[in-house]
Amino acid sequence: MSATYEAIYYPETDYGGFTGVDGTLAFYLRVNALLEPTSRVLDFGCGRGGYGEDPVAVRRQMRILRGKCAYAAGADIGAEATQNPYLDEVRLFEPGQAVPYADASFDLLLADCVLEHLPDPAAFFAEARRLLKPGGHLCLRTSNLLSYFGLATMLVPASQRAQVLHRARPDRKDEDSFPTLYRCNTVFAVRRALSAQGFDGVAFGHESEPKYLGFSRLAYQFGVWHQRLAPSCLRPAIFAFATRRP
């Protein structure tokens, strides 16, 4: 149903399969712009590489970083990540423990839809600083607790969130859904965390087409207007791009 609404409100989708506000393309376009042929990249919370199943070729290609840089590594707590076919290497680590790479190993660290699941975001930002070379880039995408989606999610008991998410996005596989904690999930909180851990950069809201509201045309239309009019701090996704200070 949402595909029909998408075609109505975002007719450009007919030409390439994506909207003009596609969040994944917007985020990864900037990630790709920061890559150099000599870059060493770490995908923190890399997962199994489910993005390889994306039917939109340009979006799929934008997310696959191996081959665009000298070395693309991954780190995760789940064993399924070792099956990720789009990375040169994946190393596992225990929650709360250091990622098993040496200090200043990477030029770019990517954390896509990871921060909302972390019990100790400050430890993550400190670990990102440790792993990055001075001048290295941190690229972050996460959910915004102050958005209508974030606030609605917090009203749902934690034990039922996965079920509600599946109803809203039946295309998302169970193995790609994880418990959410939202410990550092406002634009302002991300900005503070970056500054506290020695990063200079930007954090801002982004809103793509309202896929989660495809259950109702009225809800979808609300999402379209919100996407066009909402201030940055209330948009459903947060993007952050930052540079590690020396």
Q: Which residue has the tokens 């200090």?
A: 103
pLDDT, residue 50, reads 96
Segment 48-72, tens digit of pLDDT: 999 999 999 999 999 999 999 999 9
**Model pLDDT, residue 159:** 61
Quote the pTM value: 0.91
How much is the pLDDT for 151?
A: 86
Query: Quick check: helix, strand or coil at residue 30?
Result: helix
- What is the reported pLDDT for 172? 55
Question: In this predicted model, what pLDDT tens digit does every residue of 116-157 receive, in sequence order?
Answer: 999 999 999 999 999 999 999 999 999 999 999 888 877 766
More confident residue, 118 or 161: 118
Domain 2-244: CATH superfamily is Vaccinia Virus protein VP39 (3.40.50.150)
Query: 131 Cβ partners below 8 Å, 6+ apart?
Result: 42, 99, 101, 103, 104, 105, 106, 109
> Which of 151, 149, 143, 175 is CA-nearest to residue 162?
175
Percentage of residues of the chain with pLDDT beyond 70: 90
Mean pLDDT score across all residues of the chain: 92
Check whether 232 has a pLDDT greater than 90.
Answer: yes
Average of per-residue pLDDT across 18-39: 98
Q: In the chain, what are the domain boundaries?
A: 2-244
